Amino acid sequence: MAVLDEEMKRLVRRQRLGFVATVAPDGTPNLSPKGSTTVWGEDQIVFADVLSPRTIRNLVDNPRVEINVVDPFTRKGFRFKGKGTVLRSGAEYWKIIEMYKADGTDVRRIRAIVVVRVEFAAPLISPAYEVGVGEADMTRSWEEYYRRCRAGEADPGRPILDV
């Protein structure tokens, strides 16, 4: 049975930015954004190692990983937990490299591919929805906030229920 449903796949493919959490050898957390996050099959998410030496080292020592992907405007997304495998060569590595190439990614800087077999997936939803904020209002609020930030406003204000 597939762990990733169509809604999860759509969000991951659309967002591309996943926040990858690993555990360092001393037990401390390591969180690193990965702009190459995408879906690979029914129960796998992949990302490329471009400049991720700590993430890769951590995964080699301990393959447990969590990836969070959230739409910054709707404040909805998913968490994916599983085990990551670091690939530096082989048939699957080259298939994933070809997928990135076809997507327009400059693959020359990729040092490795991480394949995460997702064992658990769950929604991440802003608590603002629990008090009646609708998705359209949430999206409009954050779009306006980021528009003001890009415009360089010293105080862009606070989005609705900034939680």
Instruction: Name beta bridge partners: 114.
Output: 47, 86
Considering the domain architecture, whether residues 39 and 70 belong to the same structural domain is answered as: yes
Considering the domain architecture, whether residues 14 and 77 belong to the same structural domain is answered as: yes
Considering the domain architecture, whether residues 18 and 77 belong to the same structural domain is answered as: yes
Joined tokens for residue 1:
């049975």
Structural domain range at position 150: 126-163
Considering the domain architecture, whether residues 115 and 160 belong to the same structural domain is answered as: no
pLDDT at 162 over 90: no
Residue 129's pLDDT is what?
93
Considering the domain architecture, whether residues 30 and 104 belong to the same structural domain is answered as: yes
Would residue 117 count as lying in a domain? yes
Would residue 1 count as lying in a domain? no
Considering the domain architecture, whether residues 65 and 27 belong to the same structural domain is answered as: yes
At 94, which amino acid appears?
W
138-161 pLDDT tens trace: 999 999 999 999 999 888 888 866
Angle at CA 106, nearest 5°, toward 104 and 77?
Answer: 65
CATH number at residue 83: 2.30.110.10
- Whole-model pTM: value is 0.92
Q: Name the domain count of the chain.
A: 2
Considering the domain architecture, whether residues 120 and 132 belong to the same structural domain is answered as: no
Considering the domain architecture, whether residues 81 and 117 belong to the same structural domain is answered as: yes
Considering the domain architecture, whether residues 17 and 43 belong to the same structural domain is answered as: yes
73-93 pLDDT tens trace: 999 999 999 999 999 999 999
CB-based burial label for 2 (10 Å; 0-12, 13-18, 19+): exposed
